[in-house]
């Protein structure tokens, strides 16, 4: 007869080679993916894409079926940024205590399963999410507002790779503890032999917050790291982007149940903007782990209030660019314009502040002044905005109505405190004429306007900042990172000494630095298995995807020892 353990170990065998390859990738950190990263290569082919499209349309206007405990009533207020119409989907709103209680009932059998069994189930969840990645991509498009390609790759395959990466680290940390040992020592004339057995014990119930603009990318790794180490997970999506996480939760529950474990190891906890439950979840006496992705303000509250629960955060920050010297300006400006336009800069890695020395960027024997540079960057942004096909692909939509007000506010401030180098405006999306869109606002300022750009302005808002000189540019940029938090930083310089200084400065400020990158890759692209995401050294978050610290404390070690006869 098949037990859950034996079924799950069969899943482990099925995925063992993938895990081995992924572990090797994490150690050499070269390029690796378990998945086809472009939609046309997906093994399901065009049929899978069409089926997903049909399934998504069929879901619109209907209750989302999720058979989980403790349902009080149903909520749902998602609006597609592409159609600006409500999705009309409602989800169970659960009694918090009932979710924790159900998780606790489910925990013992899951905790007792072997690490490999749990890894097998987790890899099967990943596999299943990949099989339905097109449906997930539709969900991400029409809640987070990402473009089709980013919804597939960034929120699909890349997010799944980051999940597998977390599993790989969880596996390594768990493997570091042997199941048993024989300990033998002389005490005087006696030799004592002790048989010791070590047991990995989960913390308990983890709460995973998913954000509105990139829900799956941080949530998959957090959920999988907690599950693999034996914990249960309550997923708390942002009320405006529930569907991607609801799909993921349903898949987790299906795979767990098929393997003979309780589906209540993973549940969905929905709320509304009017009645948020986030703080109650964090302060719940049974919350053992909090994974949070979202606003810096709530993230800071979580960091201060999570104890005794563990807490892993990624919030946001002020990502900076320093342009000191270039061999050619055009490729730099093109890359910057594209990256600052990408998903309308609604990524935690999007650059916001571009520093230029007052006496200009050295380029060959010439100098390009801040005004000339600002004009070139504005023009490059314009050429994206006016290319109807590229505009939609690159900028996609604005997730939150609130972002439009912020863009207007900063435009106003920019006009008064600096110069608006390029106004933000709606652009016409070629596929979705009602899409909520805005081209990037670009404001030119001097260092005196620090209150304008010293914190994150979430959305399509960029600054070209005139620094006193090239050292001041670096000093300001690294100070932004240290004080306002930053995940990424970018420097353009042909001077090796300057690059070294930048490397030291941004390392000390905890921003991951990219130097002199141009070309087709978005500057802020973070590769699973290779790029460490978030350092924990500044206010942009305390957890890294993925290092051992992200997983090693999600479980604990208990032991029993007893004399063993010869």
Which spans of this chain sit near a second copy (rule: CB under 8 A)?
27-31, 172-173, 176-178, 181-185, 187-188, 190, 192, 194, 196, 198-199, 201, 303-304, 307-308, 499, 503, 506-508, 510-521, 527, 530-532, 535-537, 542, 544, 547-549, 552-553, 556-563
Q: Which residue has the tokens 């930053």?
A: 486
Q: Taking Cα atoms as reference points, which of 277, 246, 248, 204 lies closest to residue 78?
A: 246
Nearer to a second copy, 72 or 181 (CB): 181
Determine how many CB atoms are found less than 10 A away from the CB of residue 557. Answer: 11
Q: Report how far residue 106's alpha carbon sits from residue 110's, in angstroms, rounded to the nearest whole number.
A: 7
Q: Cα dist. 168→10, 58, 203, 336, 451 in Å?
A: 18, 36, 19, 34, 42
Q: How far is the CB of 306 from a second copy (least distance, A)?
A: 8
Q: How far is the CB of 325 from a second copy (least distance, A)?
A: 14
Closer residue to a second copy in complex, CB, 84/548: 548
- Tell me the three state secondary structure of residue 212: coil
**Closest distance to a second copy from the beta carbon of 161 (Å):** 12
Q: What tokens were used for 220?
A: 């998959």
Strands in 203-347 per DSSP E: 205-209, 232-236, 266-268, 287-293, 310-314, 319-323, 325-326
- The count of C-alpha atoms lying within 13 angstroms of the C-alpha of 538, restricted to the half-sphere facing its C-beta, is 27
Positive or negative: CA dihedral 172, 173, 179, 184: positive
| Closest CB 181 distance from a second copy, rounded Å | 4
> Least separation, in Å, of the C-beta of 203 and a second copy?
8
- In whole angstroms, the minimum distance from the beta carbon of 439 to a second copy comes to 24
Helix, strand, coil percentages in the chain from 3-state DSSP, rounded to 5: 45, 20, 35
In the complex with a second copy, which residue's Cβ is closer, 90 or 303? 303
- Cβ 194 to a second copy, closest distance in Å? 8
Query: What are the residue ranges of helices labelled H in 433-495?
Result: 450-453, 470-484
List, in sequence order, every beta strand (DSSP E) within 69-188: 71-75, 91-94, 180-187
- Kindly give, in sequence order, each residue whose CB lies less than 8 Å from that of residue 274, ignoring residues fewer than 6 positions away: none
118-130 as b/e: b if 16+ CB within 10 A: bbbbbbbbbbbbb
Angle of helix 370-385 relative to helix 329-341, nearest 10 degrees? 50
- Among residues 43 and 520, whose Cβ is nearest to a second copy? 520
Sign (positive or negative) of CA dihedral 53, 54, 55, 60: positive
Please name the residue ranges forming H helices in 206-277: 215-228, 243-258
Residues 6+ apart with CB under 8 A from 160: 34, 35, 126, 129, 130, 133, 220
For residues 227 and 302, which CB has a smaller minimum distance to a second copy in the complex?
302
Q: Nearer Cβ to a second copy, position 403 or 518?
A: 518
Q: How far is the CB of 506 from a second copy (least distance, A)?
A: 7
The CB-of-1 to a second copy minimum distance in angstroms stands at: 22
Decide whether 66 or 537 has the Cβ nearer to a second copy.
537
Q: Helices 243-258 and 133-144, interaxial angle, to 10°?
A: 150
Q: Which two tokens stand for residue 232?
A: 């249960």
Least distance between a second copy and beta carbon 26 (Å): 8
Shortest distance in whole angstroms from residue 467 CB to a second copy: 21
CA distance 317 to 540: 5
Tell which residue, 58, 69, 59, has the closest CA to residue 92: 69
Residue with smaller CB distance to a second copy, 374 or 510 = 510
Nearer to a second copy, 30 or 63 (CB): 30
To the nearest whole angstrom, how small is the minimum distance from the Cβ of residue 32 to a second copy? 9
**CB-based burial label for 184 (10 Å; 0-12, 13-18, 19+):** exposed
- CB-wise, 18 or 198, nearer to a second copy? 198
Distance of closest approach, residue 508 Cβ to a second copy, in angstroms: 7
The nearest distance, CB 446 to a second copy, in angstroms, is 29
Q: If you ran DSSP here, which 8-state letter would residue 520 be given? A: S
User: In sequence order, what are the beta bridge partners of 322?
Assistant: 355, 491
Closest to a second copy by CB, 255 vs 540, is 540
Q: What is the dihedral of CA 292, 294, 296, 298, to 10 degrees?
A: -70
Residue 92 near residue 67, CB atoms below 8 Å:
no
Nearer to a second copy, 308 or 433 (CB): 308
Nearer to a second copy, 472 or 547 (CB): 547
> CB-wise, 200 or 381, nearer to a second copy?
200
């Amino acid at each position: 007869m098949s037990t859950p353990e034996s079924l799950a170990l069969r899943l482990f065998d099925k995925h063992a080679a993938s895990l081995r390859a992924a572990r090797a990738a994490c150690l050499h950190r070269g390029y690796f993916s378990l998945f086809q990263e472009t939609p046309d290569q997906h093994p399901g082919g065009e049929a899978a894409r069409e089926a997903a499209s049909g399934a998504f349309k069929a879901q619109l206007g209907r209750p989302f079926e999720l058979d989980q405990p403790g349902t009080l009533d149903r909520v749902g207020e998602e609006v597609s940024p592409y159609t600006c119409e409500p999705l009309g989907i409602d989800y169970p709103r659960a009694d918090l205590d009932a979710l924790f209680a159900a998780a606790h009932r489910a925990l013992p059998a899951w905790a007792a399963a072997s690490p490999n069994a749990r890894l097998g189930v987790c890899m099967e969840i990943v596999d299943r999410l990949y099989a339905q990645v097109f449906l997930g991509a539709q969900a991400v498009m029409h809640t987070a507002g990402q473009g089709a390609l980013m919804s597939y790759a960034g929120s699909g395959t890349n997010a799944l790779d980051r999940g597998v990466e977390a599993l790989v680290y969880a596996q390594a940390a768990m493997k570091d503890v042997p199941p048993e040992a024989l300990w033998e020592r002389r005490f005087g004339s006696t030799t004592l032999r002790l048989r010791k057995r070590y047991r990995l014990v989960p913390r308990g119930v983890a709460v995973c917050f998913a954000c509105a603009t990139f829900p799956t990318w941080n949530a998959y790794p957090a959920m999988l790291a907690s599950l693999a180490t034996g914990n249960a997970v309550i997923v708390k999506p942002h009320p405006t982007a529930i569907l991607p996480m609801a799909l993921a939760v349903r898949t987790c529950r299906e795979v767990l149940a098929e393997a003979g474990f309780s589906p209540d190891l993973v549940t969905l906890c929905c709320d509304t903007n009017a009645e948020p439950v986030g703080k109650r979840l964090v302060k719940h006496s049974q919350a053992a782990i909090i994974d949070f992705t979202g606003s810096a303000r709530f993230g800071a509250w979580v960091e201060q209030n999570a104890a005794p629960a563990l807490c892993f955060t990624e919030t946001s920050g002020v990502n900076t660019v320093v342009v000191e010297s270039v061999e050619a300006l055009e490729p730099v400006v093109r890359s910057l314009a594209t990256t600052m336009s990408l998903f309308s800069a609604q990524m935690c890695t999007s650059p916001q502040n571009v520093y230029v020395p007052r006496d200009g960027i050295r380029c060959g024997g010439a100098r390009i002044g801040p005004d000339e540079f600002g004009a070139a960057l504005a023009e490059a942004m314009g050429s994206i905005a006016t290319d109807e096909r590229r505009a939609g692909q690159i900028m996609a939509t604005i997730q939150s109505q609130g972002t439009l007000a912020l863009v207007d506010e900063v435009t106003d401030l920019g006009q008064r405190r600096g110069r608006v180098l390029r106004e933000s405006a709606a652009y016409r999306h070629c596929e979705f004429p009602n899409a909520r869109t805005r081209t990037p606002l670009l404001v030119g300022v001097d260092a005196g306007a620090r209150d304008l750009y010293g914190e994150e302005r979430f959305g399509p808002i960029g600054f070209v900042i005139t620094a006193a000189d090239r050292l001041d540019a670096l000093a300001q940029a690294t100070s932004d990172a240290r004080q306002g938090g930053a995940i990424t930083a970018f420097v353009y310089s042909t001077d090796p000494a300057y690059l070294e200084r930048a490397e030291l400065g941004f390392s000390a400020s905890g921003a991951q630095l990219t130097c002199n990158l141009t070309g087709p890759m978005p500057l802020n692209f973070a590769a699973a298995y290779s790029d460490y995401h978030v350092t924990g050294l500044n206010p942009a978050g305390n957890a890294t995807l993925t290092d051992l610290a992200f997983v090693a404390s999600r479980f604990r070690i208990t032991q029993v020892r007893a004399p063993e006869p010869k």
